């Protein structure tokens, strides 16, 4: 049996203001500006907004 804890292991400090360089570094670690999640979201958004579905079925 596994135990799940929905809590961060350490308390993170609350920033007074955003840090653009830190945000860019985290974004690159998560796959970059055009990483897998961005690509997935783009394809999903485009498929949901596809016009003329009935004509092409």
**Known binding-site residue numbers for Mn(2+):** 36
Task: Indicate the annotated binding residues.
Answer: 36
Pairwise CA distance, residues 19 & 24, whole Å: 9
Tell me how crowded residue 38 is: count the other CB atoms within 10 A of its CB.
Answer: 14
Non-local CB neighbours of 30 within 8 Å, separated by 6+ positions: 37
């Amino acid at each position: 049996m596994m135990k799940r804890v929905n809590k961060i292991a350490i308390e993170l400090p609350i920033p007074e203001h955003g840090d653009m360089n830190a945000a860019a570094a985290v974004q690159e670690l998560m796959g970059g500006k055009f990483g897998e999640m961005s690509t997935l979201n783009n394809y999903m958004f485009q498929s949901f907004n596809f016009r003329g579905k009935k004509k092409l079925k």
